Structure 1
Amino acid sequence: MRRCGALKEQDCVSEKAETKPNALWENIKVIIQALLLAMVIRTVFFQPFTIPSGSMMPTLLVGDYIFVNKFAYGYSKYSLPFSPNLFSGRIFGSEPNRGDIVVFRFPPNPDIDYIKRVVGLPGDHIQVTDGVLHVNGKPVPKVADGAFTSDYKLDPGEDVPVFRETLDNGKTYDTLDQSPVSRGDNTQDFVVPEGHYFMMGDNRDNSLDSRFDVGFVPAENLVGRASVIFFSLGNDTSFREIWKWPANMRWDRLFKVVE
């Protein structure tokens, strides 16, 4: 074992004393760097969200955890933590496509995040008649596509008719029709203002969207485009209930692209 000489013993002890603080500081720096990297990724690139309601069934289910692409439409103050009022509008912005699934801030209360599908772009006329979506006066093709069975607590085990819609840009997706008559099945003719979008949930009879209190969504309120499901738990299982994961994991939904 190496021993310090008499003349160098003080220096040796000093070196040993410096080793622990240096190692601690290195660990702290690594942690800080990791946190900063995570914050940058969350702010600039991808942010995780959970689906709390059934308004986007059957595309998104309660208990799905998704990544949202935050650079898809550029950035606004709502892209940043705590929504600081540093600038107005969007920077590096691009328009959503009709049919995109978008996370946005609820216009009446921007502290709340919503997720819906874009069906109306600026200048569009949007109307629902007898449950059929019309865009600029033309009905969106809608064909029966089987039935959907949900494990969601509001309608567990209930078979709900599924209809496949196809937009004029070729985008197709499934919607639910839980009731033959609902208050959202017949609406006025909405004209989407410039700089705004018209949003609807895929669960047409159980969605608070632009037909109702959400209204037109300003471009500034867009947070990002839903990208991929990275985790999914059924039967109203909480993420914290780890012991329930094996029995309630929806394995077939993991890493599924959101369309």
Structure 2
Amino acid sequence: MASSDKENSLMETIKTVVYALLIAGVFRTLFFQPFWIPSGSMKDTLLIGDFLFVNKMVYGYSKYSCPFSMCPIEGRIFASEPERGDVVVFRHPVNGSDFIKRLVGLPGDVVQMRDGVLYLNGEPVRQESSGQFEETYARQGPSGYFPQCENAPVGEGATCIKSRYTEHLPNGKSHDVLNIRDGFFSDNTPVFTVPQGHYFFMGDNRDNSQDSRYAQANGGAGFVPAENLIGRADRIMFSSAGRSLFYVWTWRADRFFKAVE
């Protein structure tokens, strides 16, 4: 092959790679962002190792829609309001990491937890028992953390149990929440009034979630500004029960294309 042919072939390869990266960047910025669940704060709705795509079109766009927060956008454009009960990925207002939690408080809402029950605007949100959530007490995900258990202490390899309840939000949406312990801070909170332009988020694994019940200075999410919303989690693509996403032999057969509710 002549030198000029080699150079042309190399240039074509470089162009192909650049175009592919540009297309992937546009797709990720405007449409869907991949997200891997690293913690157990949203069990049993989301498990450690779930891999999903976040719908970025649904709430419009802000500077956080681009990688490294590089979008030159003030506030939000093409914005639409999220609904109570949505499972949302947002940018933490202080530490810059991406969190995923359930939206429970809208602007102007009064939110409080009393004895493990969610109160919205002074009214308790109805809960009903839905049995137990069981998992193996073993290290989970790349961090290798053990799950927290209501029946602790349990030995490695034993069954870890949490009480499960179905919570029915005022707009008709329902979802499961888990209980690990009673009387913890997360079960009884101050009264929170959600400021305009902000949202209040909680994890479904109520006793194991750093969310809006905790101040941002303490690692919690606090009140989350509207511009920090990245998108809504709609569907799990696949899920790995192992220490790595790429351990395909540990993928959970029952979670392929599972809707997030």
Interval containing the TM-score (normalised by the shorter chain)? 0.7 to 0.9
Counterpart Cα distance in 1 of 2:259 and 2:71:
33
Matched, 1:33 2:19: yes
Q: What does residue 9 of structure 1 align with?
A: none
Counterpart Cα distance in 2 of 1:21 and 1:216:
55
The CA deviation string for residues 83-130 of structure 1, in whole angstroms up to 9 with x for no partner, is: 137232111111110000011111122x21111000000011111111
Structure 1 counterpart of 2:244, from 235, 238, 250: 238
What is the TM-score when the length of structure 2 is the normalising length? 0.86
Counterpart Cα distance in 2 of 1:18 and 1:105:
48
Structure 1 counterpart of 2:100, from 97, 101, 115: 115
Counterpart Cα distance in 2 of 1:29 and 1:226:
33
Q: What does residue 231 of structure 2 align with?
A: 224
Q: What does residue 199 of structure 1 align with?
A: 201
How far the C-alpha of 1:195 sits from its partner, in A, is 0.2
Counterpart Cα distance in 2 of 1:157 and 1:188:
34
Q: What does residue 74 of structure 2 align with?
A: 88
What is the TM-score when the length of structure 1 is the normalising length? 0.87
98-107 or 22-31, which deviates more:
22-31
Matched, 1:142 2:135: no
Q: What does residue 31 of structure 2 align with?
A: 45
Q: After the TM superposition, list the runs of 4 or more consecutive aligned residues in structure 1 that deviate by more than 4 angstroms.
A: none
Counterpart Cα distance in 2 of 1:134 and 1:161:
20
Q: What does residue 101 of structure 1 align with?
A: 87
Q: What does residue 5 of structure 1 align with?
A: none
Q: Is the Cα–Cα contact under 8 Å of residues 33 and 55 in structure 2 kept in the other structure?
A: yes
How far the C-alpha of 1:229 sits from its partner, in A, is 1.1
Structure 2 counterpart of 1:211, from 188, 205, 213: 213
How far the C-alpha of 1:24 sits from its partner, in A, is 3.2
191-200 or 78-87, which deviates more:
78-87
RMSD: 1.7
Q: What does residue 41 of structure 2 align with?
A: 55
Q: Is the Cα–Cα contact under 8 Å of residues 65 and 71 in structure 2 kept in the other structure?
A: no
The CA deviation string for residues 182-226 of structure 1, in whole angstroms up to 9 with x for no partner, is: 111111211110000000000011111111122100001111111
Matched, 1:154 2:154: no
Return 5+ residue gaps in structure 2 as ranges: 141-145, 149-157, 216-220
Which amino acid in structure 1 is aligned with residue 147 of structure 2? L
- Percent of pairs with identical residues: 54
Counterpart Cα distance in 1 of 2:85 and 2:135:
23
**Structure number with larger C-alpha Rg:** 1
Structure 2 counterpart of 1:132, from 117, 120, 125: 117
Alignment length, in residue pairs? 239
How far the C-alpha of 1:18 sits from its partner, in A, is 4.3
Q: What does residue 167 of structure 1 align with?
A: 169
Q: State the SS of the aligned residue for 2:68.
A: coil
Q: State the SS of the aligned residue for 2:185.
A: coil
How far the C-alpha of 1:239 sits from its partner, in A, is 2.2
Return 5+ residue gaps in structure 1 as ranges: 1-12
How far the C-alpha of 1:36 sits from its partner, in A, is 0.9
Counterpart Cα distance in 1 of 2:104 and 2:185:
18
